[in-house]
Amino acid sequence: MSTDTAVHGDHDHHDHTPSPYSLTRWLFTTNHKDIGTLYLLWSLAMFFIGGAMALVIRAELWQPGLQIVDPYFFNQMTTNHALVMIFGAVMPAWTGFANWMVPMMIGAPDMALPRLNNWSFWILPFAFAMLLSTLFMPGGGPAGGWTMYPPLMLQTGMAFPFVIFAIHFMGLSSIMGAINVIATILNMRAPGMTLMKMPLFVWTWLITAFLLIAVMPVLAGAVTMLLTDKYFGTSFFNAAGGGDPVMFQHIFWFFGHPEVYILILPAFGIISSIIPTFARKPLFGYSSMVYATASIAFLSFIVWAHHMFTVGMPLAGELFFMYSTMLIAVPTGVKVFNWVSTMWKGAMTFETPMLFALAFVILFTIGGFSGLMLAIAPADFQYHDTYFVVAHFHYVLVPGAVFAIMAGVYYWLPKWTGHMYDEKLGKLHFWLSVIGVNVLFFPQHFLGLAGMPRRIPDYALQFTEFNMISTVGAFVFGFSQLLFAYVVIKTMISGQQATDQVWEGAEGLEWTLSSPPPYHSFETAPDVK
Amino acid sequence: MVSFSPRLGAAGMGVGAWLMSVPALADWQLNMPEGVTSLSQKAYDLHMLIFWICVVIGVVVFGVMFYSIYHHRKDKGAVAAQFHESTVLEFVWTLIPLLILVGMAIPATRTLVAMEDHADAELTIKATGYQWRWKYDYLDHDFSFFSTMSTPWEQINNAMEKGEDYLLEVDNHMVVPVDTKLRILTTAADVIHSWWVPDLGWKRDAIPGFINENWTLIEEPGIYRGQCAELCGRGHGFMPIVVEAVSQENYRAWVANMKAAQMAGNPTATVATR
């Protein structure tokens, strides 16, 4: 396609950037920026679909009694909200960032495997069309939770094989994306860009990619066993046939725990890029950041059963998983301390990306604290499957991963589009989001501690007040995101011309390129000192 | 800078008053209940210990961060230092959290060992989860009954005013004696459920084909309410658990009545216990 017309030595990129209005450009593109853009726009669209499902949930929970939806549809909403947000919004956002930024950060012209790159994106619309279509099938969509525990999941109707197939597709897409990232990072670095000189975003993505390759096949295995249990008479998870329903949970969480780090490690990388820029000071403890990330990735493989302390494990198992889970606090703490030390004695300014990054550090840490509390097995017997858990993982995923995505978008949008975004609107979006998200999720800690189980469509009267507050927060947070979409689209179309450097304190290869950067990032490899 | 608007204040108070008046049980409970057993007390103590540790760490870390945000800003004329590593610091802030964790692990381990000590139970009750109700088998007395939510659907569908124990009331209570070590076995007949009464201090999954063993010892007579805690389908929110702890005498009377009723062919008859 476009690569055929590239003329070496011609640095006027406008000459061979194909028209954005040509459908085939987007369908057949092998360009890392085009594919990055597709991923990011896809993620934004899914963020709104998953968010709409969350608003259905919160609207039903506004007050006791059933008002809006049937309990079974409520369960479909919780299940699909999670699947859409995890596999449709957050993971594709990270792959979008990797596509845009990894080649520009390591001094490469493009990703190593461009055709694979195209394929890994274009699988997603089919996967999600299949998943979301199940909501309109007789019997409805999946309603057994995103964790798909049998035997409940086996009660799914006609939607069942479509869900399994969709998950296979999503896994395939993620694995191909991960292979591409690893191949690019290991083979296409500019001369002088040693591993320990790579920006932390590249490091965290490299480690994330290995996690993806390790665990997505495990998920594929688990859901395939579900499929054969339902249709081919096997009894992997059926005690009556010699199987064990708890074995599914072990396999699922062997995937599931590394998966939650897949959702957060690239966020660590982005925050580690943004804080030094706006503190005008180098990142504190670069190498300890790399080692901490690797330690977290290693630990993620040996903590899975803390998601299932209540299934009835032997004492030794409970103790092992409690200790290993508590250990995660150490490398995570190192990261937070390093970020704070980077700010210390800096010269900080507070543009929108920095605001989101600071909110990330505080709110992610709060999510980390509740994670540490959940690690204490005897207390977890009380916390487990309550709104305390819901509050915990939303704190690490929304003001955690999602805020990091937004920070990254504001940070690099001027580079990507060549236009500055509207700083006033960006800050307004930040304040609405940060207030909304806390009003939404903080009261859920109280609900969980007071005894409200998760995944219930109706609740006892003593939970009313905090549910109402939470619902108000949900609508504030949800509708504020329309402002985000508006700011992004506005910046894509128009705005003040951005400089190459964009931010006064920005350092790294991506800032040496023009804004917007040439279609093929580095046609000649830069020299890295 | 911000002027207080009386209208906004009045509106705020109005919303507040309305929030207080809507539900029958406005108690704004913030924390975990201490419960009525030694295990629930231990879980609560651990919860508060780890909570305060987190609060202290949070105050220190966020304190340093906000100090820095306030003082080290460019518009105050701060000039960025260029230091970027310190092996001593890195060592210290790896070691200190590690020590805190070890300190935390010791009481947690002790509690966990106590929770798993099922020995010497005096009475065994098997709780079986069904979609969507519980069945209680009193294995020592050879009788059993189902316990189903008794909240009328008119209340759930907002056709009738909601009662005080909305969604937390059942037709047949699980009656147990106080001051008796109870072995509670959990299992299920269809999908996975989870048996949870917060005041007893734990929940345990009820898994089809497997039996989990737990124990409790209630000292205070009373009615303790809980809910199924594992997603189990459409009726997951509607299968509450009600444990009624009574004196040993009353318990013996209740057992006698239950056996008589069972004999008379009415296995689910409820018997007044007070």
Instruction: For residue A348, give the nearest of B64, B72, B84 by CB distance.
Output: B72
Nearest Cα of chain A lies from the Cα of B214 at a distance, in angstroms, of 9
- Kindly report whether the global pTM for this prediction surpasses the value 0.90: yes
pLDDT of residue B29: 87
- Mean pLDDT across the stretch A179-190? 97
Interchain CB distance below 8 Å, A65 and B156:
yes
Instruction: For residue B207, give the nearest of A311, A329, A386 by CB distance.
Output: A311
Residue A125 amino acid letter: P
pLDDT of residue B119: 87
Cα separation, A169 vs A36, in Å, equals 19
Of A451, A490, A449, A446, nearest to A470 by C-alpha is: A446
pLDDT of residue A489: 96
Query: What is the H or E stretch that residue B246 is in?
Result: strand B240-246
- Tokens 């490690």 label which residue? A265
B108 — contact with chain A (CB < 8 Å)? Answer: yes
Contacts of B171 (CB under 8 A, 6+ apart): B147, B148, B149, B150, B268, B270
Task: Report the relative pairing of strands B143-147 and B133-138 from DSSP bridges.
Answer: antiparallel
Q: What is the number of residues in chain A?
A: 529
Q: Which residue of B has its CA nearest to A386?
A: B229
pLDDT band at A19 (very low <50, low <70, confident <90, very high): confident
pLDDT, chain A, mean:
94
pLDDT of residue A136: 95
The yes-or-no verdict on residue A167 having pLDDT over 50 is: yes
pLDDT of residue B26: 53
Please count the CA atoms within 13 angstroms of the CA of B94 that sit on its side-chain side. Answer: 13
Instruction: For residue B80, give the nearest of A281, A455, A459 by CB distance.
Output: A281
pLDDT band at B78 (very low <50, low <70, confident <90, very high): confident
Q: Which residue of B has its CA nearest to A504?
A: B74
- Mean pLDDT across the stretch A314-338? 96
Three-state helix/strand/coil letters over A435-468: HHHHHHHHHHHHHHHHCCECCCCCCCHHHHHHHH
Residues 411-450 of A with CB under 8 A from B: 446, 449-450
Interchain CB distance below 8 Å, B209 and A244:
yes
Residue A151: asked if its preceding bond is cis (omega within 30°), the reply is yes
Interchain CB distance below 8 Å, B69 and A343:
yes
Task: Report the relative pairing of strands B181-188 and B123-130 from DSSP bridges.
Answer: parallel
The yes-or-no verdict on residue A17 having pLDDT over 90 is: no
Q: Is B24 exposed, middle or buried (0-12, 13-18, 19+ CB in 10 A)?
A: middle
Comparing A54-63, B70-79, B192-201, the range with the smallest average pLDDT is B70-79
Residues from chain B that touch A457, judged by Cβ atoms under 8 A, are: 237
How does DSSP assign A294-308, residue by residue? HHHHHHTTS-GGGGG
Cα separation, A411 vs A97, in Å, equals 11
Contacts of A357 (CB under 8 A, 6+ apart): A270, A271, A274, A275, A278, A403, A404, A407
Residue A331: asked if its preceding bond is cis (omega within 30°), the reply is no
Nearest Cα of chain A lies from the Cα of B206 at a distance, in angstroms, of 8
pLDDT band at B4 (very low <50, low <70, confident <90, very high): very low
pLDDT of residue A15: 46
Residue A238 amino acid letter: N
The beta strand positions in B77-221, using DSSP E, are 123-130, 133-138, 143-147, 174-177, 181-188, 193-197, 202-206, 212-217
pLDDT of residue A527: 87
Interchain CB distance below 8 Å, B26 and A464:
yes
pLDDT of residue B1: 36
Residue A344 amino acid letter: W
The yes-or-no verdict on residue B269 having pLDDT over 60 is: no
pLDDT band at B2 (very low <50, low <70, confident <90, very high): very low
Of A197, A216, A217, A200, nearest to A265 by C-alpha is: A200
A72 — contact with chain B (CB < 8 Å)? Answer: yes
pLDDT band at B148 (very low <50, low <70, confident <90, very high): very high
Catalytic residue ranges of A: 81, 110, 146, 173-174, 257, 259, 261, 272, 306-307, 332, 335, 454
- Mean pLDDT across the stretch A54-62? 97
Q: Are A378 and A321 in contact (CB under 8 A)?
A: no
A158 — contact with chain B (CB < 8 Å)? Answer: no
Interchain CB distance below 8 Å, B74 and A361:
no
Helices (H), A344-422: 352-375, 377-383, 387-396, 403-417
Q: Coil, strand or helix: which one is B271?
A: coil
The token pair at A118 is 């195209």
pLDDT of residue A144: 95
Over the stretch A455-470, which tens digit does the pLDDT of each residue have? 999 999 999 999 999 9
DSSP label at residue B149: B
Give me the residues paired with residue B125 across strands.
B138, B184
Nearest Cα of chain A lies from the Cα of B142 at a distance, in angstroms, of 25
Cα separation, B53 vs B56, in Å, equals 5
B193 — contact with chain A (CB < 8 Å)? Answer: no
Size of interface A-B (CB pairs under 8 A): 295
- Mean pLDDT across the stretch A111-119? 96
Over the stretch A469-528, which tens digit does the pLDDT of each residue have? 999 999 999 999 999 999 999 999 999 999 999 999 999 999 999 999 999 999 899 988
Q: Are A349 and B73 in contact (CB under 8 A)?
A: yes
Of A57, A52, A49, nearest to A444 by C-alpha is: A57
The dihedral over CA atoms of B229, B235, B237, B240, expressed in degrees to the nearest 10, equals -70
Q: Coil, strand or helix: which one is B243?
A: strand
The token pair at A216 is 């997505």
Over the stretch A397-434, which tens digit does the pLDDT of each residue have? 999 999 999 999 999 999 999 999 999 999 999 999 99
- Mean pLDDT across the stretch A162-177? 97
Residues 454-473 of A with CB under 8 A from B: 454-462, 464-466, 468
The yes-or-no verdict on residue B270 having pLDDT over 80 is: no
The yes-or-no verdict on residue A112 having pLDDT over 90 is: yes
If one counts every other C-beta atom within 10 angstroms of the C-beta of residue A489, the result is 12
Over the stretch B43-73, which tens digit does the pLDDT of each residue have? 999 999 999 999 999 999 999 999 999 999 9
B261 — contact with chain A (CB < 8 Å)? Answer: no
If one counts every other C-beta atom within 10 angstroms of the C-beta of residue A413, the result is 25
pLDDT of residue B19: 45
Q: Which residue of A has its CA nearest to B228?
A: A453
Comparing A328-337, B113-122, B247-256, the range with the smallest average pLDDT is B113-122
Interchain CB distance below 8 Å, A460 and B166:
yes
**Does the CA dihedral A451-A457-A460-A465 come out positive or negative?**
positive
Over the stretch A211-265, which tens digit does the pLDDT of each residue have? 999 999 999 999 999 999 999 999 999 999 999 999 999 999 999 999 999 999 9
Residues 42-71 of B with CB under 8 A from A: 42-43, 46-47, 50-51, 54, 57-58, 61-62, 64-65, 68-69
